[in-house]
Amino acid sequence: MSAGTTIPPIWSWQDFIDHARAPDTIPNGSGRLSNSAWAGATWDEAISLATDGWVMPLPEVDLAVEALREHLSDHAQAVDLAPVWDVTGSEVDVATYLSGAPECMIDYVTQRRTSRSRVVTLLIPSCYSQTVPHAEVINRGAALAALCSAIITAAHSVEVWFGYACKMSPSPDGASAERYSAVARVVSAGEPLNVPRLMFATAHPAMLRRLWFGVWDSAERSIAERLPPANYGFSPNDCAVADLPPEGHDAYVLPALVAGAPQWCSPDSAMAWCIEAFADMGMIAGTADVTG
C-alpha cells in the first residue's frame, strides 16, 4: 500500500456500501450533510442508486482488445504432476497388480495445462475538485463505463477498482502535503457484469460526494475529522499502483478527472479521449466504433 494515511482496502461493492452507511465518527460529515444539488442526490437516493444501480444509456463500443500484457488473450501456464502406469515406475498400484495387469507401476510426469487465473486490474480515480460540474463527471464516467464494459465482456478475468486520493493542503506542487488514499473493488474478476452498478460508480457525482465521503466520515475519528476542514482534500487526485493491495500491482491506472479539461465538455470528446487513453496503455486498438 502507498505511504500516507490510508484505510484498509475495501474488497467488494457491498462492503463499500456498508462502509459508507456505517455510523459517522464525526458530527459534520459531508456524506450525509452536503447539499443535495451539488452532490447529485440526497443521501437516501445515493444509497438506493448504489444498491440498485444507475440505469442510463451506455454507448456501445466495438473495439479490438489487445494483448493486455499477455493477460487477456494468453492463458497462464500451470504445471501438474500426472500419474502414468507402466511396467516400471516409482510405486506399485496394488489394485492393478492384484488384477494381473503388467502395467502396475506408477510414475509421475509433469504436464502443462492452461489456466485463466491471471487477472487484469483497472484502477479508476474517483476523486476530483468540488468545482467540477455534473455534466463533466457524467461525460467522463459514461465513456469509462462503456470501455470497461467492452473490455470485461471480451476478457472475463478483469477487475475494476476505484480509488480516492488527495492531498491535505494546497501546496503548489502537491508534493509536501500529507496524502490520503483509499481503494474499493467495484467489479471482481469473473463476476457477472452489472452495468448499472458500473455506471453509478464511474459516472454519478454521488459516488464521490455521498458514498466516498461517507466512507471517510465513518473512518477512525482521528482520520475522519481532518477531511471536512480540508474540503475532503486537494489535488493532485491521481491514484497509483501502490494504492492497491500487493496482488493488484500489475494494474492499469487511469488519469484523474481535472476540472475544466476540454475533453469532458461533450460525450463525444470524452469518448475520444478515453479511447486514446486506453490505447496509449496498450489495452485496446487505437480506433473504435461507437454507437448509442
Instruction: State pLDDT tens for residues 93-107.
Output: 666 666 677 776 766
In this structure, the answer to whether residues 169 and 109 fall within a common structural domain is: no
Helix, strand, coil % over all residues of the chain, rounded to 5: 35, 25, 40
Same domain, 55 and 171: yes
Query: 101 and 198 in one domain?
Result: no
pLDDT tier, 286 (very low <50, low <70, confident <90, very high otherwise): low
Mean pLDDT of the residues in the chain: 83
What are the grid coordinates assigned to 113, written together?
A: 495445462
pLDDT in the model for residue 120: 79
- Assess whether pLDDT exceeds 50 at residue 75: no
pLDDT at 230 over 90: yes
Same domain, 100 and 192: no
> pLDDT (tens digit, 9 = 90+) per residue, 118-152?
577 899 999 999 999 999 999 999 999 998 888 88
- Looking at the fold, whether 142 and 281 belong to one and the same domain comes out as yes
pTM above the 0.85 mark? no
Which pLDDT belongs to residue 57?
A: 83
Domain termination site, one of 88, 115, 142? 115
Is residue 114 within 8 Å of residue 76, measured between CB atoms? Answer: yes
157 versus 141: the higher-pLDDT residue is: 141
Query: What is the arithmetic mean of pLDDT over 240-252?
Result: 84
Same domain, 188 and 240: yes
For the segment 47-57, the average pLDDT, to the nearest whole number, is 94
The per-residue pLDDT for range 251-268, each reduced to its tens digit, is 889 999 988 889 999 999
Task: Enter the C-alpha cell of residue 224.
Answer: 475522519
Predicted confidence (pLDDT) at residue 80 exceeds the cutoff of 50: no
Do 214 and 91 lie in one domain? The reply is: no
> What is the extent of the structural domain holding 181?
5-70+117-291
Q: Residues for the chain: how many in total?
A: 292
If asked whether residues 140 and 276 sit together in one domain, one would say: yes
Amino acid 283 reads M
Q: Is there a single domain that holds both residue 176 and residue 43?
A: yes
The CA distance from 58 to 56, in Å, is: 6
Q: What is the pLDDT of residue 249?
A: 64
Provide mean pLDDT across the span 232-245.
92
Q: How many angstroms separate the Cα of 177 from the Cα of each of 5, 189, 203? A: 11, 35, 28
Cα gap 243→240, rounded to integer Å: 5
What local confidence, expressed as pLDDT, does residue 201 receive? 97
The answer for residues whose C-beta is within 8 angstroms of residue 220's C-beta and 6 or more apart is 25
Q: Are residues 108 and 141 in the same domain?
A: no
Of 176 and 266, the one with more pLDDT: 266
Q: Is it the case that residue 30 has pLDDT exceeding 60? A: yes
Number of domains composing the chain: 2
Looking at residue 250, its pLDDT comes to 74
- State whether 41 and 63 are in the same domain: yes
- Rg of the Cα trace of the chain? 24
pLDDT band at 169 (very low <50, low <70, confident <90, very high): confident
> String of b and e for 149-186 (b: at least 16 CB within 10 Å)?
bbbbeebebbbbbbbbbbbbeeeeebeebebbbbbbbb
Provide the pLDDT for residue 109: 57
Residues 174 and 261 in one domain: yes
pLDDT given for residue 93 in this prediction: 63
Residue where one domain finishes, among candidates 60, 91, 115: 115
